[in-house]
Amino acid sequence: MSQNRYNDLSSLAAYLPSRRSGRPRNMVAPGPNDEQIEQIVTNALRTPDHGKLAPWRVIAIAADQREQLAQGFKSAYLKENPSAGRLEIEGLEALAHEAPVLLVLLSSPVLSSKIPAWEQHLSCGAFAMNILHAAHAKGFVGGWITGWPAYNDDVRDMFGSAPEKIAGFLYFGTSNAELSERPRPELKDILSVWTPVLPE
């Protein structure tokens, strides 16, 4: 292994623990510009992808499209919840307007492939994490949000069609609040050594 090729591993070891998720409502300008978004997504393409299917898509929502997105959320929600209250609607509209940059991530499984759809959805999750890491590496804060819109078919149809699913809404910008460390699980509860239990 070439030492030169991996001479930045010490900085990488410091980088990984430094990433925090931000709250979209606390994200202000600057966010990544169009060229930086392309670089972020390009870097994120280095994702585990059994079968080389690229079973994911990213859709950038332009600043002047946010109100259309809010109206789409509202219409879909009222169709499902016709008696929804004002605060519910305002909360959905806020989701469409938060943070300087918003990307919609779709899991797009190739059902004709022999690769199980479950593996393809897992690849999409890895792709999302790579996008967050790539944005962090450029100095931006990111947040991966789902919520009601991610599970509504009418909202999904604004961006794609079945069997696609919205894997999440990815928000980016600069945090106007300190990013606090969230509780993490104890390593002993996550990492263990296998005790073989063999089939009889």
**Domain-embedded: residue 165:** yes
**Domain-embedded: residue 140:** yes
pTM of the shown model: 0.91
**Domain-embedded: residue 10:** no
Of the CA atoms within 13 Å of residue 110, those in its CB half-sphere come to 14
CATH of the domain at 27: 3.40.109.10
**Domain-embedded: residue 189:** no
**Domain-embedded: residue 198:** no
List the domain range (segments joined by +) for residue 114: 21-64+100-173
**Domain-embedded: residue 54:** yes
Q: Which two tokens stand for residue 119?
A: 């593996």
Pinpoint the alpha helices (H) of the chain. 9-15, 34-44, 66-80, 86-97, 117-137, 153-156, 187-190
pLDDT digit string, tens, across residues 159-194: 999 999 999 999 999 999 888 888 899 999 999 999
**Contact residues for 61 (Cβ-Cβ < 8 A; gap 6+):** 69, 102, 103, 104
How many separate domains does the chain show? Answer: 1
Report CA 180 to chain centroid distance, whole Å.
Answer: 20
DSSP 7: T
Cβ-contact 192, 92 below 8 angstroms? no
Cβ-contact 143, 22 below 8 angstroms? yes
**Residue 33, amino acid:** N
**Domain-embedded: residue 154:** yes
pLDDT digit string, tens, across residues 70-80: 999 999 999 99
